[in-house]
Amino acid sequence: MAAPVVSSISPTQGPMSGGNTVTLTGTGFSGATAVRFGGIAAISFTILGSTKILAVVPAGAGAVNVTVTTSEGTSAQTVTYTYVAAPSLSSLSPDQGPVSGGIVVTLTGANLSSATAVRFDAIAALSFTVVSATQISAVAPAHAAGAAAVTVTTAGGTSNSLTFSYVVAPSVTGLTPAQGPASGGTVVTLTGTNLSGATAVRFDGIAAPTFTVVSATQISAVTPVHAAGAAAVTVTTPGGISNPENPSMYFYYAAVPSLVSVTPTSGTTAGGTVVTIMGTSLSGATAVDFDGIAATSFTVASSTAMTAVTPAHAAGTAAITVTTPGGTGNPLTYDYYDTPTLSTLTPGLGPTYAGNTVTLTGTSLTTTTDVRFGGAAASFTVLSPTEVTAVAPAGPAGPVSVTVVTTAGVSNGLTYTRVAGPGI
């Protein structure tokens, strides 16, 4: 009989620790007394017939020749078996991702060539690519929230495990305040769930200039510049993007108010005058100020009109401003005047018929709107802040109180006496 012949071995490689079973195919295997890998005997072997043997590989290193020995001799063919070093992992990047999977993870380590599997716990990666002996790119499968052990299997065995954390997608449920200026810069508080590890906060896709993760349920963010209108607010974490298809929270960007007119344009230093302010973007007004002094009260009628009650203010010009969530608008001028006073009336006597010119002196007469002799209006001319002339209207003989009305109020009264002409 002839010496045995080894024609092939399957698999052709395995771990350096041995212990795996291989199949030898050839001829003349009946009565085999030894199977060797290099010079080391197989841990055990089973003869399945004259053409096949199952052998348990011993520990070893490198490429070795596999031989079978029978009573007729030892096989002389060069059929090699290669010992492969076990793979090892040193890092994962990123090391966390969404429970839905689909994220590409880079595994770094050693002896990763010929990888046959990448697993997250017992779940196979959706796909993987061996980039080099030290790197694999794998697509994470779906997995329940929590830690998953990532391993790589090669002919050399299964690597040590590294932890990949599966994270639930964040959810934003509250926003305070919910509006602010288009110029940005508003500090808003986002509340929700699974906000830890946030990597971005966006307003309609525009990244917040800064943000701070306060807790798993709260983030503080500064709004970016944005056109007036509603902006969807989203948070991105390793678990994904909060409600990307149907955002539940919106921040409303308001335009800066613009003031066009105020009516009346002046009033008493005592305040209490109701003024009408016209402009644009007045909705949501939070303040109306006169030189920094808050209006006694105000009412917004529409985005273009509002009324306000003037506060007390020293005589002079005051700047009216309106503040909304969009900011503080341009100022309008409002003039404060003291209540008029009269000190002299010359002459103090006159006929019962109209036409006598009377000179009134006093203070704060500039904005005179009416001069009255009792209840009768007189024509008048403002000469200066301290002097007005008026033409006395006709009236019955006797005394009558003369007053001046200005935008700041009604003066004290002085007596003018009508005298009946002599009878014939």
Quick: pLDDT tens for 92-134: 999 999 999 999 999 999 999 989 999 999 999 999 999 999 9
Q: Which two tokens stand for residue 218?
A: 């709260």
Query: How far is Cα 4 from Cα 95, in angstroms, rounded to an integer?
Result: 53
CA 399 and chain centroid, separation: 75
- The reported pLDDT for the residue numbered 423 is 62
- The reported pLDDT for the residue numbered 424 is 60
- The reported pLDDT for the residue numbered 184 is 95
Q: pTM score, two decimals?
A: 0.65
Q: Which of 195-209, 245-259, 295-309 bottoms out in mean pLDDT, i.e. has the lowest?
A: 245-259
Q: What single-letter amino acid sits at 92?
A: L
CA dist 130 → 107, 116, 251, 405 (Å):
10, 10, 45, 95
- The reported pLDDT for the residue numbered 66 is 98
Label residue 421 by pLDDT band (50, 70, 90): confident
24 - beta bridge partners?
9, 53
Residues 6+ apart with CB under 8 A from 390: 357, 358, 360, 371, 373, 378, 379, 380, 381, 402
Q: Report the side by side order of strands in the sheet with 5-10.
A: 5-10, 21-27, 52-56, 44-49
Tell me how crowded residue 122 is: count the other CB atoms within 10 A of its CB: 8
pLDDT at 246 over 80: no
pLDDT in tens, 332-362: 999 999 999 999 999 999 999 999 999 999 9
pLDDT at 24 over 70: yes
Label residue 243 by pLDDT band (50, 70, 90): confident
Label residue 422 by pLDDT band (50, 70, 90): confident
pLDDT at 71 over 90: yes
CA 135 and chain centroid, separation: 36
Tell me which of 244 and 82 has the higher pLDDT.
82
What is the percent of the chain with per-residue pLDDT over 90, rounded to a whole number?
A: 95
Measured between its terminal Cα atoms, the distance across the chain in Å is: 180
Q: The tokens 């046959």 sit on which residue?
A: 116
- Long-range contacts of range 140-143, CB-CB < 8 Å, 24 or more positions apart? 140/97, 140/101, 140/102, 140/103, 140/104, 140/105, 140/164, 141/101, 142/99, 142/100, 142/101, 142/102, 143/99, 143/101
**How high is the mean pLDDT of the chain?**
95
Label residue 301 by pLDDT band (50, 70, 90): very high
